[in-house]
Structures are given as C-alpha cells and as structure tokens.
C-alpha cells in the first residue's frame, strides 16, 4: 500500500519547499507615526504650511503630520492643560514670553542637548534667550517680529506718512471719512498699548526689591492709555474684543480700513482673502512722541516646544529641526516678513518694505516684564478687561488701580 500523508502536512511541506517564510521570519513593516503639531493663527500662511506638510511627509515616509491651527485667545490655559495631560500634541508653537511658565510646570522637554545639532550658536541672542530657563533650552527659537503700521495705499493717497504721534492722529482723523475707517484698532490690542505706555516712560509692571508690582496706575501708564483711547476712537474697532475677534486681516481685506497695527507678515494673510490688494499695502514704523525716535514696540516672537507627554519625542524633534532649519526659515521669512532665527539669515529680507519698517521700530524695542509669572498675567486677560472698561466709560484711575493690584497678586503668587 502507498503511504499517504495527511493533507495539512502536505501543505506545510509544499510551502517549505517553495521557500515561503513563516510570520516569525518576516520583518514587521514600519508603523506610521501620526504627529500632532499646534501652530498659532497668523504665524504661517495656509499655502506654506501645506507645502511644508507635503514635502516633509514625502521625505519621511512613515510620518503623518496633523497640523492644527490654534487661536491666541485662551491659548495659555489650553497649552497648560495639554502639558498636564497624557495625550499632548507632539510639537507646540508658543509665545517666547510663555516658555518660562510652561517649563516650570515640568511638562516641557529639555532640549539643551540638541542645541548644537540645531546650530544654536547662530541663533539671534535676543530671540534664543526667552527659551532658555535656568541654563536649560526648553524653547527652540522660531521667528521674531514687532508691530508696525500696515496701511492701504489707495485710501492713504497723498497724505504724508506721520513721524510723530500728533501727526499720526491728524492723518488718521483726515482718513476717517466717506465710509472708510481711519484706523481699525480694537479695544483690547494690549501690545500696542504697551508701546504707548513705554513711550511715556511707564511700564506694565516694575520690580521693587524681590517683588514685582503692577504699574498701570502710574501717571505715565495713564498717559499712554489716553493716547490709545484717542487713536482707537478714529475707527470702528470693537471696544470689547482683541485683534483676533474678528481677525483684523479680514477686516482690512475689505478695503475700507486705512490702517491697522500688526506685524508685516499680516499682509500675506490679507492677500489670501483679497488678492486684489497686491501692491496696495504699505508699511511704516509706529510714530513716536518726537520725530527723531520711533514709537516703542514689543519685540516678540515664537518658540517651538516638545511636551514631555508626547508619545513620539524623537520624531517630534525631527519636525522641530525642519521648522527651525535654514530652508523653512527662509521660506517663512519671505512669506511672513518675519525675522528668521539665525544671524546668518539676516540678508534674506533685504529690500523688503515691511522689514525695513519693522527694523526701524525694533530700534526702540522692549520686552514684557522679565518674570516667569508674566505669562499668567496674560492668561488672565486682566489687561484686556481693563482696557475695555476704560474705553466704555469707566474711570481710568480707578480701573488702573484695580488692575495693578491684580497684576501684583498674580506676579507674587
């Protein structure tokens, strides 16, 4: 009799003879990592972000980027909650003044060991410093910028560009007619207010010994507020909202606003809404009290951080490296007229009108109070509420005293 093997054994023998590997012999295919990246509204054009995402994913086959745009309003609480969670984004753009607060929570990854790999010796010192806390680099500098006056050349016409505050008020009043707004300035654009206060010799808060104290109730701060009130009244900006509600670039794009106060890069956002304004947008430095010195401005910027709770920290670092690298920095600077993070890239924007205005203003650049708790003041929005209260008729001195007391408590907490 012929010996017959069971059918199952015959199948195994046949597969072995053909050289088919078993699952244990096969190498597992690399799994795709989905990275969540939070980018702030107004930092990058949609076109540039889409281009970056496409190119990055093409070069990193196993990475899927989920880039999410975040609003500045309320972002402090949102980031704080994310850093304390077990499911945080992998990369977050934060304001440079916020890094100290976030790092103090213990929820931000220390990237000191990566500084050399990122070319940190070439970073602009003033931009890198806020991301460095107690000798450790938590925030990777991304870009710097300061505010200028962005104006509609058609509406401005032959009106001379003002060099002083008084000239600025007169020109704005002249332009505020015929259905057009001389300026669109919301009631809570507090960075602009800060500049006017600094011009008067005041500050938002001052350090006395080892303690910080709110200073919006000083005569200098109240003088800066009075100028803000006069300027804001020469338009129809809401008194109870900031420049993001509604987005001021959308208001400007309607063609009925003579000027706004913003970083030069907002022009790119305007053109996304209204391409017909191409070549019709101009820039000049915020005027000062006298013609020989531009108005004081907040020199701000953004950093990139990686939360400790990120489940893909190595991959997240590669994203940070690409966003902070020369190629993207060059593209970002050209698209948004931002100052790139490295001194070697200083010539990228030579000849740009917006950059020239920004550079002129930067000569009188200032920073918010240098304390980790300042981010907590921003998060409470007490300065915005104070501005709205005064602009809607409440006594400036009384409201200034109240907000200064609140700031003092917050900075001392």
pLDDT digits (tens, 9 = 90+) for 394-411: 999 999 999 999 999 999
Cα–Cα dist 337/353, whole Å: 9
Strands 33-40 and 91-95: parallel
Using CA of residue 253, residue 255, residue 260, residue 264, what is the dihedral sign?
positive
Res. 390 pLDDT band, cuts 50 70 90: very high
In a domain, 90, yes or no: yes
405 and 279 assigned to the same domain:
yes
Q: Report pLDDT for 9.
A: 38
Cα–Cα dist 33/26, whole Å: 21
52 and 93 assigned to the same domain:
yes
Segments forming the whole domain that contains residue 198:
148-298+370-411
Does position 90 have pLDDT exceeding 80, yes or no?
Answer: yes
For 74, left (φ over 0), alpha (ψ -120 to 50), or beta?
left
259 and 393 assigned to the same domain:
yes
Of 255, 263, 261, 266, the closest CA to residue 232 belongs to 261
101 and 167 assigned to the same domain:
no
Q: Report pLDDT for 348.
A: 82
Cα–Cα dist 409/52, whole Å: 43
The answer, as to whether pTM is greater than 0.85, is no
pLDDT digits (tens, 9 = 90+) for 12-54: 344 344 444 445 444 555 688 999 999 999 899 999 999 999 9
Beta strand spans in 113-217 (E): 132-133, 136-137, 140-145, 148-152, 205-208, 211-214
Task: Give the domain CATH number at 339.
Answer: 3.40.190.10
Lowest-pLDDT range of 66-70, 357-361, 390-394: 357-361
Average pLDDT, the chain: 90
pLDDT digits (tens, 9 = 90+) for 297-334: 988 889 999 999 999 999 999 999 999 999 999 999 88
59 and 88 assigned to the same domain:
yes
- Residue with the bigger pLDDT between 22 and 277: it is 277
Neighbours of 205 (CB within 10 A): 22
Count of structural domains, the chain? 2
In a domain, 60, yes or no: yes
Cα–Cα dist 372/133, whole Å: 9
For the CA atoms of 195, 278, 38, 346, what is the dihedral angle to 10 degrees?
-70
112 and 204 assigned to the same domain:
no
Helix axes 313-323, 326-336, angle to 10 degrees: 50
Cβ-based neighbours of 100, under 8 Å, separated by 6 or more? 130, 133, 371, 372, 375
Helix axes 326-336, 46-59, angle to 10 degrees: 170
pLDDT (mean) for 257-283: 96
In a domain, 27, yes or no: no
Encoded tokens for 110: 């220390």
281 and 392 assigned to the same domain:
yes
305 and 176 assigned to the same domain:
no
154 and 289 assigned to the same domain:
yes
pLDDT digits (tens, 9 = 90+) for 93-121: 999 888 988 998 899 999 999 999 999 99
Specify the residue for token string 């009043």: 173
Specify the residue for token string 């003092």: 408
274 and 314 assigned to the same domain:
no
Res. 362 pLDDT band, cuts 50 70 90: confident
Helix (H) or strand (E) holding 69: strand 63-70
Of all residues in the chain, the percent with pLDDT exceeding 70 is 93
241 and 312 assigned to the same domain:
no
In a domain, 110, yes or no: yes
Cα–Cα dist 111/137, whole Å: 5
pLDDT (mean) for 336-351: 84
pLDDT (mean) for 372-391: 92
Cα–Cα dist 325/91, whole Å: 15
Write the DSSP string, 2-47. Answer: PPPPPHHHHHHHHHHHTTPPPGGGSPPPPPPEEEEEEEETTSS-HH
Q: Report pLDDT for 217.
A: 98
In a domain, 16, yes or no: no
155 and 289 assigned to the same domain:
yes
Helix axes 46-59, 313-323, angle to 10 degrees: 130
In a domain, 292, yes or no: yes
In a domain, 340, yes or no: yes
């Amino acid at each position: 009799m012929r010996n017959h093997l069971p059918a199952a054994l015959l199948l195994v023998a046949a597969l072995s003879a053909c050289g088919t590997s078993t699952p244990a012999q096969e190498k597992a295919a690399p799994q795709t990592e989905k990275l969540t990246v939070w980018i702030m509204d107004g930092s990058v054009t949609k076109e540039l972000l889409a281009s970056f995402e496409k190119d990055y994913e093409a070069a990193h086959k196993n990475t899927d980027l989920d880039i999410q745009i975040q609003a500045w309003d309320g972002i402090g609480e949102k980031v704080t909650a994310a850093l304390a969670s077990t499911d945080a984004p992998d990369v977050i753009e934060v304001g440079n003044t916020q890094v100290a607060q976030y790092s103090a929570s213990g929820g931000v990854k220390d990237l000191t060991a990566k500084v050399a790999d990122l070319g940190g010796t070439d970073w602009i010192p003033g931009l890198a410093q806020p991301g460095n806390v107690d000798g450790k680099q938590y925030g990777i500098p991304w870009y710097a910028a300061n505010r200028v006056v962005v104006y509609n050349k058609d509406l401005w016409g032959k009106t001379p560009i003002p060099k002083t505050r008084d000239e600025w008020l007169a020109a704005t009043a002249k332009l505020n007619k015929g259905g057009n707004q001389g300026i669109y300035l919301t009631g809570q654009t507090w960075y602009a207010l800060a500049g006017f206060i600094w011009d008067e010799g005041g500050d938002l808060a001052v350090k006395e010994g080892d303690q910080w104290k709110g200073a919006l109730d000083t005569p200098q701060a109240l003088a800066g507020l009075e100028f803000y009130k006069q300027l804001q009244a020469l338009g129809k900006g809401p008194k109870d909202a900031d420049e993001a509600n509604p987005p001021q670039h959308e208001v400007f794009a309607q063609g009925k606003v003579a000027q706004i106060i913003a970083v030069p890069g907002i022009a790119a956002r305007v053109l996304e809404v209204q391409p017909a304004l191409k070549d019709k947008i101009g820039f000049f430095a915020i005027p000062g009290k006298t013609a020989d010195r531009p108005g004081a401005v907040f020199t701000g910027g953004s950093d990139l951080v990686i939360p400790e709770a990120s489940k893909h920290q190595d991959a997240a670092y590669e994203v940070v490296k690409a966003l902070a690298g020369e190629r993207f920095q060059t593209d970002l600077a050209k698209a948004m007229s931002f100052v790139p993070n490295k001194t070697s890239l200083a010539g990228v924007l030579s000849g740009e009108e917006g950059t020239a205005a920004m550079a002129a203003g930067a000569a009188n650049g200032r920073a918010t109070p240098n304390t980790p708790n300042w981010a907590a003041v921003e998060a409470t929005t007490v300065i915005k509420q104070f501005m709205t209260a005064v602009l809607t008729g409440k006594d400036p001195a009384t409201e200034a005293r109240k907000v200064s007391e609140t700031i003092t408590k917050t900075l001392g907490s």
